[in-house]
Structure 1
Amino acid sequence: MRLKSNILKSYMAIAIAFSGFQSFAQTKSKPNVIVIYTDDQGAIDLGSYGANDIYSPNIDKLAKEGTRFTQAYVAAPVCAPSRAALLTGRYPQNAELTGNTSAEPGSDGLPAEQYTLAELFKDNGYATGHVGKWHLGMSQTSSPNAQGFDYSFGHLRGCIDNYSHFFYWEGPNIHDLYENGKEVFYDGQYFPDLASDKAINYVENHKNEPFFMYYAINMPHYPYQPTQKWREYYKNMAKPRADYAAFISTIDERIGFLMDKLDELGIRENTIVIYQSDNGYSTETRAFGGGGNAGPYRGAKSSLFEGGIRLPTIISWKNNLPENVVNDQFLMNIDWMPTLAKLCKLDKINTKIDGIDLSKMIENPKKTTERTSGFWKYGKQWVVRKGNWKLIGFPKDTSNKGELNLEEDALFLSNLDEDVSEMVNLASKYPEKVKELTQEFLAWEHGHEKDIPKKIETVSNLAKGGKISATTTVNQKYSDLNLLIDGKLGYTDYASGQWIGQEGKSMEFVIDLNKIKPIKTISVNSLNNSGNWIFPVQAVEIRLSDDGKTYGGLKTIKRDTKQPKTENATERLTLNIGEDSRFIKIKVEGIGNCPKGHPGAGFPGWFFVDEIIIE
């Protein structure tokens, strides 16, 4: 009996061992996936990416345990469309989300019919969780739970105060913290810690089943609110870099907490971890003009120069993918969906995507990437990249690293293999390459002839060669008043360098024609782009003078409010004058505050003028 018992125990041990091996093999066939997406992080702002003034040991360790990419891109230079591209594997234009979403309650974002990474993993038996920032819509149909996430915790708008959890940048102040669609309150508790705890809890609660977690960290996006521990660490560094760097270390510390939990649970080797930033660092006013660093790259957030879209990106699957690799091959965030589907052996993606499966290149870094070209389109800016050549239409440099000439740089060509700085436009040197890439852009489904820069339109203007001065305060960003009388109309893009803008208030100018001239009409050309809080000029007032001291009667024209608005287009208000004069005092009035129903209702709206045309 004892012999039989021992034999039975041996068989049981073997069976248990085999069962355990089988269970392990099944688990290995479905690895967990964590995608960590940071917010407004500069291109080199990690120790592993060359920042010698930032302490980031946990993320640097992640890079050593996997692959660090040096040519990884996102499909848009701002938050929402970048996230839409990541989650759908599609260009933002095909994901139907090309700009940041509204903060207005109930407003739509990512359409419900878009198929997301969360839905892909859920359809393949995974638990799916979202922790952190969403910024893909305020409506129920575009909420995380409606887009494939079984669990969600975080804020729905673009940013929040990390202690009150209020959004206060657009419209009335509003609390913005939700768990599975229900508003929750953690007054005074530090949001990065709340999110970290929720992410760790999610991992622990799903350790026995395959899971996909989208950990959308809301840092280093403004407001800069790092912990006191890290503020003290960087106390000798100048601001805003100090607060920004402290925020990066705050991120790093919390990623360390998460990685420690994976190790503690024994699932680190069965978890694919991806780390990437959503777009370049911010140079917005609320970010104190910067804090981040793009290193050799030109551009920042909102720019399609490299600094806005070429970002820190890491993949690590310990003991399953190559480790301590620096990969300089081309990759885009839209590629993660098919790449992860392959690595995780998921069923076929039953929707059309723009991403490319790059798993073979990741598994074997010596293999040439399947991605050889890419397209971007954001506002008036667009890019086509083919091989090492990159062509930008209507470039915008939010890093202010150099001047852009409106006419000569409307098409900007670079060879990234020879110079990643994009400080020298090669368009005039290689016109055939410009032509080739322009045709590539036009062949793309979202490239149109109207997107191609045309020759600057010139107009006859009696004021050209005259003098212009402002009698009211001028916005310092738009202070070259000579642009208003240079006889050139700007491209329909307020950031193109030809426009003079004002926020909320009116502007008044005095134009000196140098001598008395017969004046038939005076026109003001303005821009309408309500998505950027820009509205057409509402009224123009004019007084004339022969000596610049005594001005005659008031002449006024108001905008026809019934006039249909065409987004991202120009409008012109024209007054009939029929008098001779030398000096013209002209007052231009904007909308004041954004109108009711607009996401910025009650806040100052902008107007932009590119020419005061005197005929």
Structure 2
Amino acid sequence: MNTHYFYTSIKILILGIVLVYNLNLNAQSKTKPNVIIIYTDDQGAVDLGSYGAKDIYSPNIDQLAKEGTRFTQGYVAAPVCAPSRAAMLTGKYPQNAGVSGNTSATPNSKGLPAEQYTMAELFKDNGYATGHIGKWHLGMDEASSPNKQGFDYSFGHLRGCIDNYSHYFYWEGPNVHDLYENGKEVFYDGTYFPDLASEKAINFVENQKDQPFFLYYAINMPHYPYQPTEKWREFYKNTPKPRGDYAAFISTIDERIGFLVDKLETLNLLENTIIIYQSDNGYSTEVRAFNGGGNSGPYRGAKSSLFEGGIRLPTIIQWKNHLPKNTVNHQFLMNLDWMPTLASLCGFTTPLKDIDGMDLSQMIKNPATNSPRTSAFWKYGNQWVVRKGNWKLIGNPKDTSHKGILNFENDALFLTNLKMDLSEMENLAKKYPEKVKELIQEYIDWEHGNEKDIPKKIKTVSHIAVHKLITTQSKLNANYQNIEVLIDGKFGYADFSTGQWIGVEGKNVELIIDLKNSEPISEVGINYLSSAGNWIFPPQEFEVSFSEDGKKFKNLKSVKIKQTKQQNSIDYASLSTSQKSRFVKITIKGIGVCPDWHTGAGNPAWFFIDELIIK
């Protein structure tokens, strides 16, 4: 027998055994699926090809839907960025997660409390490598930073939005740089942030390919500033702006998701990776977003609104060859349900205590199974919602999509049945008063509901200026020109969006009231709103002067107004006089810019006024 041949055969056999053993070990290490959550920023409810958009090219995301499940009732727990993200990462309502509104951009300001148990900590406790890439927006102090909230690796910006090339905070400037890697400020001047984030996500997957990983890929698009690449601007050159730039941003997202999926396929990881795609809230109608660009389709509302368009968003899950493919699921799901659902899909036995999310894994596996999620609550600012079955009651509704007019005397409680009317354009409250009572009680019984939140009948006031003539020579904001509400004898709610308020940004306003006849006057007063979180501050001062002919005004009097940091409070300032006059000129002076202590320091400050009272 050939000795060399014998030993060579033995070596090959041993190598084969070792190879099989290693392959088996690798297979055992991959019994737990990887998980990637892709969370986009300010994306409209129908702004994907798979959700019906005819003018948006999104083949890679649409492929996720084709290979997985697309939900038609996928909700988030808040209509703005930070509380939506807090809910998703903790499995709790934002109020229970400790983040009920957007977090401050001030250095070292607090955000997601350290005691919250996050999805990242859940995966880490179960042997996963954990990574966060993209937007954070959950606090500026160390305790609330990604690396202290369970992420082994983090790369991205901590505040709400950045310029994609300079990486400076978009709301403030010019010297607030905001890009960090594992808590250390890093500089990539001029490099396109979506490309940076895409590269970091691909590197994370490559580096963790031999062990289970959890990646929170928080893409910062299509949030303003709209800065798509030249390739996609050219693609949408015939689409009018802002829709064209917004759509180009969606395609920019889609392209980079394609890069990530390609990497998973190259590494043979795709079939062992659960991919979730969801938007954090509806599209923005803010000035910085050119008042729109996105689309909520059949739904009313957008970002900051608790109508469907602000909270009912594109939601997809894919786990190739494990979960149903090419499926449209009409069951009710919320982003706070992902934490217990993923724990179940991944086979974790870690107890999840005091969470609001529900395990929907069986419903996802079998869409014919009824979802355990049949009701939910929302509370954001002055707005709140109870949903029970198909019935939905909104308190103090706000329509940022401007699809219809809300009458806050009649629509402060807004009832809809989503099975009968997805558009939420008709208020059924008067038609079904018993259902309104039932849902109000559900809200009050909720741990964060309060009877004080229930809208009361608009208060009225009688004074000599009611329904007289009011004019101004000041240039008013386009959204606040109905100055007749200032002398209609009605008070607005403590929410600037109720239609009873006139907002003025960064300047003063001069108003003249014609009483039609010369009248004895003993008092002149103004109602004003304080809501620092919305950049709304008390006026600095108001002045009053009088005239009989409407041209020459005299007897000038003024009152200084105390500044406050209060949220959503209504106050009244007045001055006494002893005067007989037909015309009254009221000049209201704002503080100009946000104060140093405020996150918007140096930017134009608003003041909001309601009833001007003359006695």
TM-score by length of 1: 0.97
Of 130, 133, 136, the match for 1:134: 136
Corresponding residue to 2:27 among 19, 24, 27 = 24
**Residue in 2 aligned with 1:593?**
593
Give the secondary structure class of the aligned counterpart of 1:83: helix
C-alpha change, 1:527 and 1:192, in structure 2 (3 Å) is same
CA distance in 2, matches of 1:494, 1:8: 80
What is residue 572 of structure 1 aligned with on the other side?
A: 572
Unaligned runs of 5+ in 1: none
Q: Give the deviation of 1:315 after TM superposition.
A: 0.4
* Alignment partner, residue 148 of structure 1: 150
Deviation at 1:21, TM superposition (A): 4.3
1:19 & 1:205 partners in 2: Cα distance? 19
How far did 1:542 drift? 0.6
Offset of 1:348 from its aligned partner? 2.1
Give the whole-Å Cα distance in 1 for the aligned partners of 2:30 and 2:411: 54
AA paired with 2:43? Q
Match of 2:463 in 1: 461
Aligned counterparts of 2:110 and 2:153: Cα–Cα separation in 1: 20
Alignment of 1:234-383 (within 5 A): 234-383=236-385
Q: Which residue of 1 aligns with 2:180?
A: 178
Unaligned runs of at least 5 residues, structure 2: none
Q: How many angstroms apart in 1 are the aligned matches of 2:486 and 2:581?
A: 19
Distance in 2 between the 1:168 and 1:216 partners?
A: 17
**Could you tell me whether the CA contact under 8 Å between 1:518 and 1:579 is conserved in 2?**
yes
Deviations 1:249-288 (A, max 9, x none): 1110100000000000001111000000000011111111
Counterpart of 2:554 in 1: which secondary structure? Answer: coil
1:582 is paired with a residue whose SS is strand
| More off after superposition, 19-28 vs 296-305 | 19-28
Question: Within 2, Cα distance between the matches of 1:549 and 1:226?
Answer: 53
Matched AA of 2:589: E
Alignment of 1:608 with 2:608, yes or no, is yes
What's the counterpart of residue 581 of structure 2?
A: 581
Q: Counterpart in 2 of 1:190?
A: 192
Q: How many angstroms apart in 2 are the aligned matches of 1:173 and 1:450?
A: 42
Q: Are 2:170 and 2:225, in contact at CA under 8 Å, matched by a contact in 1?
A: no
Distance 1:215 1:565 in 2: 35
AA matched with 1:27: K
1 CA distance for matches of 2:565 and 2:43?
A: 36
Instruction: Give the 3 Å change call, closer, same or farther, for CA 566–285 of structure 1 in structure 2.
Output: closer
Mapped to 2, the partners of 1:10 and 1:471 lie a distance apart of 94
- Structure 1 residues 340-489: aligned runs within 5 Å: 340-489=342-491
Counterpart AA for 1:24: A
Q: Secondary structure at the match of 1:328?
A: strand
1:208-236 CA-to-partner distances (Å, cap 9, x unmatched) read 00100000001111111111111111111
CA distance in 1, matches of 2:554, 2:174: 44
Alpha-carbon spacing, 1:171–1:233, altered in 2? closer, same or farther (3 Å): closer
> What amino acid is aligned across from residue 260 of structure 2 in structure 1?
L
Distance 2:565 2:140 in 1: 25
Give the match for residue 60 of structure 1.
Answer: 62
Secondary structure of the equivalent of 1:166?
A: coil
Shift of 1:26: 4.5
Which of the residues 545, 556, 559 maps onto 2:558? 556
SS in 1 for 2:602: coil
Deviations 1:91-146 (A, max 9, x none): 11011111111111111111111111111101111100001111111111111111
Give 1:567 shift. Answer: 2.4
Give, in angstroms, the shift of residue 25 of structure 1: 4.3
Q: 1: CA distance between counterparts of 2:37 and 2:554?
A: 67
1: CA distance, partners of 2:15 / 2:582: 105
Deviations 1:289-346 (A, max 9, x none): 1111111001111111000100000000001111111001100000000000001112
Distance 2:23 2:107 in 1: 50
Distance 1:51 1:440 in 2: 36
Q: CA deviation at 1:539?
A: 1.3
Letter in 2 for 1:507: V
Q: List structure 1 segments (4+ residues) > 3 angstroms apart after TM superposition.
A: 1-23
Residues 538 and 562, structure 2, Cα contact 8 Å, conserved in 1: no
The reply on whether 1:106 has 2:108 as its aligned counterpart is yes
In structure 2, the residue corresponding to 1:214 is in which secondary structure? strand
1:168 deviates by: 3.4
> How many residues of Structure 1 are paired with residues of Structure 2 in the alignment?
612
AA of the residue aligned to 1:143 = S
Residue 538 of structure 1: how far off its partner (Å): 2.2
Tell me by how many angstroms 1:549 deviates: 2.4
1:277 and 1:209 map into 2 onto residues whose CA distance is: 28
Q: What percent identity do the matched residue pairs reach? A: 68
Task: Answer yes or no: is the 8 Å Cα contact 1:171–1:602 preserved in 2.
Answer: no
Out of 78-87 and 515-524, give the one that drifted further.
Answer: 515-524
How big is the alpha-carbon RMSD for the aligned residues of Structure 1 and Structure 2?
1.8
Amino acid paired to 2:145: S
Provide the C-alpha distance between the structure 2 equivalents of 1:107 and 1:567, rounded to a whole number of angstroms: 18
CA offsets, 1:25-60, max 9 Å, x none?
Answer: 4422x1100000001100000000000111111001
TM-score, structure 2 normalization: 0.97
